[in-house]
Amino acid sequence: MTVNYKKDMVVYQIYPRSFMDSDGDGVGDIRGIISRLDHIASLGVNAIWLSPVYVSPNDDNGYDIADYKAIQPQFGTMEDFETLVREAKARSIGIIMDLVINHTSDEHEWFRRALAGEEKYQDYYIIREGKDGGLPNNWGNFFAECPWTKFGDTDKYYLHLFSKKQPDLNWRNPAVLEEVKDIMRFWLDKGVIGFRCDVINVIWKDTLDDGKKSLVLTGSEHYLSKDGCHNILNILRREVLDPYGAFTVGETVFVDLEKARDLTDPARKELDMVFSFEHMEVDQVIVKWFKTRLVPQKLMRVITKWQQGLDWNATYFENHDQPRFLSRFSDAKGHRKECAKMIAGLLLTLRGTPYIYEGQEIGMTNGDFENIGEIMDIESRNIYKLAKKLHFPRALRWKMIMRTSRDHARTPMQWDWSENAGFTTGRPWLKVNANHEYINVKRDTVDKNGVSAFFKQMIHLRKTCPALLEGSFESLFEGRQVYAFKREYEGKALVSVMNMTAKPAKLPQQVMGYTQMVACNYAEEAGDTLRPFEFRLLAKRSDINALGL
């Protein structure tokens, strides 16, 4: 398969636990994915990013890896995985693995041997004495835990930026680097096309000194995108990835434009692109757990800033850590399909490599959870506990979960209207949304005005039209409701214009010369008024042929 990973790729992310269960144990699996490959292929995507499928005790649903070279039995066998690679390839789809190398599981052999006293493996992790009878430092933790846990029955502590079952690796130890190279080659030899690198910009800790006190994450100035991290990425690129022609996208937390530029600068040979977070944070107050109304104009500004600030990057609006994007628009109720299609139009006409998250293609919404007992995510459960300790009223605690929980993205994929949405014949590991009765693949894919039909149309346009793939980006209008931007290639342009609210809006004057409708998320024409969440792709009439349309 010859895909120019940067320009030609459209990625579909699968969260394996929640995608399709083939054996009735209530948990999705690889055979399930294989059985649904035709649905994925029908969208026109050419890559799948698989969230972790490795052996794991599932403290963080697979992001705590106990064996990097074996498949979690619940998900299937190595043979199943090889079949998946083959079957995907037969449909011109490449597989991208999730590479989680900031930490392992505490049940990984390395950590067990460290606990058993083997010094070699103790040096794989970050283990320190306490200071003045306290912890080694004052750092915070991503999952609202204490980042230091007692190392076995010693007086020492090990560092974990995430759960206590996710001890951080010591990247100063060259043996760790060698182990990871070997793991990467193992999967590349199986035919995967690249990696999504989990929290990759935090792997290198410059010092373990106390950090500046911060409401967000005390200590992060000591480990965010440090030179040591750049150096490791460069080594992995040159020694492991390049010989295979493999691709990487880094998940880079708290990354700013300048750091993102360094991490993706082709001359530096580190990552191909990164997932930035700023557009995911426009509706938050200080931390993601406190959300306010999403103000479209703020979103437009951040999108424009990143489009202009980087030559090329990953674009996304959903993944397994974020609530469903359409559920963030408080006035989208009653306009679900239009809003889902507007997001599709936006995602697929921006410059960069688009990532679609499972269920996004049919307009799945946030979960309909009723109480904390239904929430499985470790991060949500921890934050709920912490808020309780801080005496937050129960209603506020629940509101935090209902706006932000990662489980909103993890509810089982809705295949049809039967019990459990066709996801499993058993008891699903996480509550299936009751709205599967009308939001599901079976219904959406036979609807010519369905959300998936629009995804297909937009993906097809990207493939046929160089302006959408390679064209420059220019913002034309950022209003209270309407966003418009231009993609231009060899003097010919396409314009995306969309209403990000439920109130009708005037077409801005800036798009007036573009009278030819190329695509629209409504069935009929409507003149100069943009209806609720209306998206239009426009061109000049005289350019239609030259644009490849």
Residues that bind ligand TEU (CB under 6 A): 60, 63, 100, 142, 162, 198-199, 251, 253, 320-321, 379, 406
Structure tokens at 453: 């039909």
> How far is the C-alpha of 288 from the C-alpha of 283, rounded, in Å?
8
Active site residue 370: no
β-partners of residue 12 are 48, 356
Residue matched to tokens 């290198």: 204
- By beta-carbon proximity to ligand TEU, the closer residue of 377 and 534 is 377
Which residues, in sequence order, are CB contacts of 464 under 8 Å at separation 6+?
Answer: 548, 549
Q: How far is the CB of 404 from ligand TEU (least distance, A)?
A: 8
Out of 59, 80, 198, 407, the active site residue is 198
Beta-strand pair 472-478/482-489: antiparallel
Structure tokens at 97: 């693995």
Please say whether the beta carbons of 487 and 549 come within 8 A: no
Q: How far is the CB of 211 from ligand TEU (least distance, A)?
A: 17
Active site residue 198: yes
Q: How far is the CB of 287 from ligand TEU (least distance, A)?
A: 8
Q: How large is the angle between the packed helices 257-264 and 227-235, nearest 10 degrees? A: 30
Reduced to 3 states, what is the DSSP secondary structure of residue 435?
A: helix
Out of 251, 270, 358, 407, the active site residue is 251
Q: How far is the CB of 20 from ligand TEU (least distance, A)?
A: 20
- By beta-carbon proximity to ligand TEU, the closer residue of 367 and 471 is 367
Which residues, in sequence order, are CB contacts of 290 under 8 Å at separation 6+?
Answer: 284, 400
Q: How far is the CB of 527 from ligand TEU (least distance, A)?
A: 42
- By beta-carbon proximity to ligand TEU, the closer residue of 17 and 320 is 320
Cβ count within 10 A of residue 399: 15
- By beta-carbon proximity to ligand TEU, the closer residue of 236 and 280 is 280
Question: Pick from 511, 540, 536: which is nearest to 525 by CA?
Answer: 536
- By beta-carbon proximity to ligand TEU, the closer residue of 59 and 272 is 59
- By beta-carbon proximity to ligand TEU, the closer residue of 251 and 358 is 251
Rounded to 5 degrees, what are φ and ψ at 533?
55, 30
Q: How far is the CB of 182 from ligand TEU (least distance, A)?
A: 21
Structure tokens at 19: 């995608």
- By beta-carbon proximity to ligand TEU, the closer residue of 195 and 473 is 195
Please say whether the beta carbons of 301 and 479 come within 8 A: no
Reduced to 3 states, what is the DSSP secondary structure of residue 186?
A: helix
Q: Where are the alpha helices (DSSP H) in 319-376?
A: 336-349
Q: How far is the CB of 42 from ligand TEU (least distance, A)?
A: 27
> How far is the C-alpha of 281 from the C-alpha of 77, rounded, in Å?
38
- Could you give the maximum distance between any two Cα atoms of the chain, in Å? 76
What are the strands of the beta sheet with 194-197, ordered from one edge?
A: 273-275, 247-251, 194-197, 94-99, 47-50, 11-14, 353-357, 314-316
Question: Pick from 340, 346, 338, 336: which is nearest to 361 by CA?
Answer: 340
Rounded to 5 degrees, what are φ and ψ at 149?
-125, 145
- By beta-carbon proximity to ligand TEU, the closer residue of 225 and 420 is 225
Q: How far is the CB of 321 from ligand TEU (least distance, A)?
A: 4
* Whole-number CA gyration radius for the chain: 23
Please say whether the beta carbons of 493 and 540 come within 8 A: yes
**Active site amino acids:** 198, 251
